[in-house]
C-alpha cells in the first residue's frame, strides 16, 4: 500500500507538470496566433542573434575559405563589427559587399555609393547600390563562401532584401554556400499591406509579398530560395544561422538589443514601426520629415492644415487609434541623412505621431492619412500632381491611387487587399523558424 501511495503521488506530480507545460504551450500558441493583433509574449530564453550564435562556435565552415561578407554598420556582434571579429579570428575575408547607404551606413536614400577600400581594414568594398546591384561573376570568382549579416526592417520597400536576393543568385551561379546570420525583425509581429503585383516589381519590391511580410531575414531568404524566386528558378546552398530566444510576437524593445539605425533616416525603433504606414508618401508632395532628426515619425507640407479644413482649433488627431499632434517643422540639408530633402528650408505644417497601435490599425491609419493629404492637396488646387510617376511601385499596384482618387473609404481599401494577405500567410507559414 505504501508503494502504491508513493507511485500515486509521483503520477499526480507528473500530471501537474504536464498540465503546466501544456498551459504554457497553449499560451505561446495563442500569442503566436494573435500576433497580427500585436500581442506580446515573454522571452523564452535570452535573445542571441545568429551572428552571436555562430561566433560562439569554431567557425569550421569558414576555416581555409575565401569569404565574402555582405554587411553594413548594423553587422555588430557584442559591440564589434562582424568583419573585424572574423579577421581577428583568422578568417580570410576577401572582400565586403555593401548595400544601399554603404558599408558604414552614411549615404542618403537613393544616393550613389561608390566601391573602394575600407580605411579601417584595407579590404575592398564592392558597392551593390547603383548600376551594380548584383555581384558580377568576376567579383565572385575569388570567393568560396558568402556571409550575409544585415539588420532588416521587415518592409517590402527596404532594399536590403533585394540586395540579399541578388547575392543569393550570384552565389548560386558560382555554386558556393550562402550563410545568413539571422536577426530579429522589428516588424515581425504582423503581416499586412497590399501584395506586390508582378507588373510593379522593382528594386524596392522584388517579390509578390505584402508591405509588411512578418519574417526575419533568414526566413525570408528560405522562402525566396524554396519558392523558386531566384533567377531561372535556381537554388543556392543556403545555410541560416537562427537567433535564439526570439518569437514573432516580440516588439523591438522586448529583444533587449540596442537600436542601430539600419539607415540614416530610421533613427529610432519607433520610426521603423511607423515606416510601413508612411513610406508611400515618398512619391508624393508630402514630407515624411527627411531633413529633420525625426524622419518617419512625422508628416507634413507647406499647404497642409493639421487640424483638417473643417476644424477651427488644432488639437490631437486620431487615425484608427494612432494619435498625432499638430507640428511645424522646416527640413534642412543634413549630409549623411538627407542632403536635399523635400521642402528644404520651407516651413511645413504637419503631424507628429505619439503612440503605437496594432498592425491592422496602423495600416488603416496610413491609408486615412494618404486620403486626407490627397484631399487637401486637391482642395488647394495645386498644379503639381499628388501621385508622382512611379507611385504604383510603393503600394505594388495601381489600385490604391485609383481608390484614393475615387474617394473610397479606408475600410473598403483595407479590405480589398486582405485576400492577398491571407494567401501570402499560407506561403509564409511554411518557412517560419520561430513561434
* Domain identity same for 237 and 122: yes
pLDDT computed for residue 282 by the predictor: 96
pLDDT computed for residue 103 by the predictor: 76
Of 321, 259, 412, 316, nearest to 38 by C-alpha is 321
In the numeric block, the cell 492644415 is attached to 305
* Domain identity same for 243 and 136: yes
Residue 30 domain flag: no
Do 151 and 385 touch, CB atoms closer than 8 A? no
* Domain identity same for 101 and 184: yes
pLDDT computed for residue 45 by the predictor: 63
Do 156 and 396 touch, CB atoms closer than 8 A? yes
* Domain identity same for 69 and 170: yes
Q: What is the DSSP letter of 254?
A: G
Supply φ then ψ for residue 334, to 5 degrees: -125, 90
How far is the C-alpha of 36 from the C-alpha of 32, rounded, in Å? Answer: 9
Residue 131 domain flag: yes
Residue 305 domain flag: yes
* Domain identity same for 255 and 289: no
Residues of the chain with pLDDT under 70: 1-45, 102, 104-114, 308-314
Q: What are the angstrom distances between the C-alpha of 357 and each of 210, 319, 322, 365?
A: 19, 10, 6, 10
Q: What CATH number did the domain enclosing 90 receive?
A: 3.40.50.12170
* Domain identity same for 165 and 308: no
Residue 94 parent element (H or E): strand 92-98
Residue 11 domain flag: no
Q: Which residues contact 283 (CB under 8 A, 6 or more apart)?
A: 387, 388, 389, 390, 391, 393, 394
Length of the chain: 435
* Domain identity same for 211 and 292: no
pLDDT computed for residue 130 by the predictor: 84
Supply φ then ψ for residue 246, to 5 degrees: -100, 140
Q: What CATH number did the domain enclosing 317 receive?
A: 3.90.1150
Q: pTM for this one?
A: 0.87
| Residue 278 grid coordinates | 508612411
Do 307 and 301 touch, CB atoms closer than 8 A? no
Q: Which residues contact 117 (CB under 8 A, 6 or more apart)?
A: 123, 124, 125
Torsion sign (Cα): 197, 202, 205, 209? positive
* Domain identity same for 297 and 204: no
* Domain identity same for 54 and 134: yes
50-83 pLDDT per residue, tens: 999 999 999 999 999 999 999 999 999 999 999 9
Of 85, 235, 214, nearest to 161 by C-alpha is 214
Dihedral angle of Cα 333, 304, 270, 263, to the nearest 10 degrees: -30
219-263 pLDDT per residue, tens: 999 999 999 999 999 999 999 999 999 999 999 999 999 999 999
* Domain identity same for 186 and 128: yes
Do 331 and 345 touch, CB atoms closer than 8 A? yes
Overall domain count for the chain = 2
| Residue 346 grid coordinates | 520651407
| Residue 203 grid coordinates | 528594386
Q: What are the angstrom distances between the C-alpha of 161 and each of 44, 51, 130, 156, 353?
A: 27, 18, 15, 8, 27
Domain ranges, residue 54: 50-259+423-431
Amino acid at each position: 500500500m505504501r508503494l502504491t501511495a508513493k507511485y500515486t503521488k509521483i503520477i499526480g506530480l507528473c500530471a501537474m507538470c504536464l498540465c503546466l507545460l501544456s498551459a504554457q504551450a497553449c499560451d505561446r500558441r495563442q500569442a503566436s496566433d494573435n500576433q497580427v493583433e500585436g500581442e506580446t509574449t515573454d522571452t523564452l530564453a535570452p535573445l542571441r542573434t545568429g551572428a552571436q550564435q555562430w561566433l560562439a562556435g569554431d567557425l569550421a565552415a569558414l576555416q581555409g575559405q575565401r569569404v565574402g561578407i555582405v554587411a553594413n554598420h548594423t553587422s555588430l556582434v557584442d559591440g564589434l563589427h562582424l568583419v573585424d571579429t572574423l579577421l581577428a579570428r583568422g578568417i580570410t575575408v576577401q572582400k565586403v559587399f555593401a548595400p544601399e547607404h554603404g558599408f558604414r551606413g552614411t549615404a542618403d536614400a537613393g544616393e550613389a555609393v561608390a566601391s573602394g577600400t575600407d580605411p579601417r581594414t584595407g579590404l575592398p568594398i564592392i558597392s551593390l547600390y547603383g548600376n551594380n546591384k548584383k555581384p558580377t561573376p568576376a567579383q565572385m570568382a575569388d570567393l568560396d563562401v558568402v556571409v550575409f549579416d544585415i539588420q532588416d526592417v521587415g518592409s517590402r520597400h527596404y532594399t536590403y532584401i533585394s540586395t540579399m536576393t541578388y547575392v543569393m543568385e550570384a552565389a548560386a551561379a558560382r555554386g558556393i554556400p550562402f550563410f545568413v546570420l539571422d536577426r530579429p525583425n522589428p516588424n515581425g509581429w504582423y503581416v499586412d499591406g497590399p501584395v506586390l503585383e508582378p507588373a510593379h516589381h522593382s528594386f524596392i519590391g522584388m517579390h509578390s509579398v505584402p508591405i509588411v511580410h512578418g519574417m526575419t531575414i533568414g526566413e525570408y531568404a528560405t522562402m525566396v530560395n524554396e519558392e523558386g524566386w531566384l533567377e531561372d528558378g535556381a537554388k543556392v546552398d543556403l545555410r541560416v544561422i537562427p537567433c535564439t530566444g526570439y518569437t514573432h510576437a516580440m516588439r523591438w524593445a522586448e529583444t533587449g538589443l540596442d537600436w542601430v539605425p539600419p539607415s540614416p533616416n530610421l533613427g529610432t525603433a519607433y520610426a521603423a514601426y511607423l515606416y510601413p504606414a508612411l513610406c508611400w508618401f515618398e512619391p508624393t508632395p508630402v514630407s515624411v520629415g527627411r531633413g529633420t532628426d525625426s524622419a518617419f515619425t512625422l508628416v507634413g507640407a507647406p499647404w497642409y492644415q493639421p487640424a483638417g479644413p473643417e476644424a477651427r482649433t488644432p488639437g490631437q488627431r486620431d487615425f484608427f487609434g494612432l494619435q498625432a499632434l499638430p507640428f511645424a517643422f522646416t527640413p534642412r540639408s543634413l549630409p549623411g541623412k538627407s542632403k536635399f530633402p523635400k521642402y528644404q528650408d520651407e516651413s511645413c505644417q504637419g503631424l507628429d505621431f505619439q503612440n503605437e497601435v496594432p498592425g491592422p490599425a496602423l495600416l488603416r491609419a496610413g491609408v486615412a492619412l494618404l486620403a486626407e493629404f490627397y484631399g487637401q492637396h486637391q482642395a488647394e488646387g495645386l498644379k503639381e500632381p499628388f501621385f508622382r510617376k512611379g507611385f504604383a511601385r510603393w503600394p505594388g499596384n495601381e489600385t490604391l491611387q485609383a481608390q484614393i482618387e475615387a474617394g473610397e473609404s479606408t475600410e473598403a481599401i483595407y479590405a480589398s487587399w486582405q485576400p492577398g494577405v491571407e494567401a501570402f500567410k499560407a506561403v509564409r507559414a511554411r518557412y517560419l523558424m520561430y513561434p
